[in-house]
Amino acid sequence: ARKLQLSDNKGFSLRKAFNPKIAGFRCDSLHVESLLNINAIEKIIVKLGILTLDTVSITVGKIPIGAEKDAVITDYNFDGFCEFVVPDKNSAARGGMDYYYFLFDTISMHFVEIESLPKFIGNFKLDVKNQRVKIYCPDEACFAYYKYENKSFKLVQGEFKP
């Protein structure tokens, strides 16, 4: 597979590649694959068709094999760029599971893992109208809204109880 450079000879850039409005595709056109290290994912590879857009190194043992198959690719910080969330179904317990969040950093032009959203949650939904993420507590008896501001998600409404 071809690794996409910041800009190839056709003027295609990563900035455009991750911005579906400019590039003319939907975030769900992207997909992720993994490189393995015995029992866990070592790297997540983000692709558009056969083009490799980015390779994200993962702390070995952090995300189990197969979790990347359930990745949700969408613009969840509402900046116009595609991001992805990897749910770990192997961690499911007490009505929740671990989620790993990756944002596209427009400065470095790479995906980076963020930890400003709760890791062990029941579920999440996007509140597009108000540009925020609704995070459900593991038993879904409560929820909280988080908004992306200054390179981090901040709690703006509700209370999250892990």
At 30-78, the pLDDT tens digits run: 889 888 877 778 899 998 888 888 899 988 678 888 888 999 999 999 9
For residue 149, count CB atoms less than 10 angstroms from its CB and return exposed for 0-12, middle for 13-18, buried for 19 or more: exposed
Cβ contacts of 147-152, under 8 Å, gap ≥ 24: 148/77, 148/78, 148/79, 152/114, 152/116
- pLDDT at residue 2 tops 60: no
Using the structure block, give the residue that is written with the tokens 């995300």. 63
Higher pLDDT, 40 or 116: 116
Angle formed at CA 74 by CA 160 and CA 127, multiple of 5 degrees: 45
Distance between first and last Cα of the chain:
41
- pLDDT at residue 29 tops 60: yes
Query: In 22-32, which positions are buried (b, 16+ CB within 10 angstroms) versus exposed (e)?
Result: ebeeebeebeb
Torsion of the alpha carbons at 54, 48, 13 and 25, rounded to the nearest 10: -140
Predicted local confidence at residue 6, as pLDDT: 40
| Average of per-residue pLDDT across 86-108 | 90
pTM: 0.84
The distance of Cα 37 from the centroid of its chain, to the nearest Å, equals 21
- pLDDT at residue 11 tops 70: no
CB atoms under 10 Å from CB of 15, counted, come to 15
Collapse the DSSP code of 23 into the 3-class scheme (helix H, G, I; strand E, B; otherwise coil) and give the result: helix
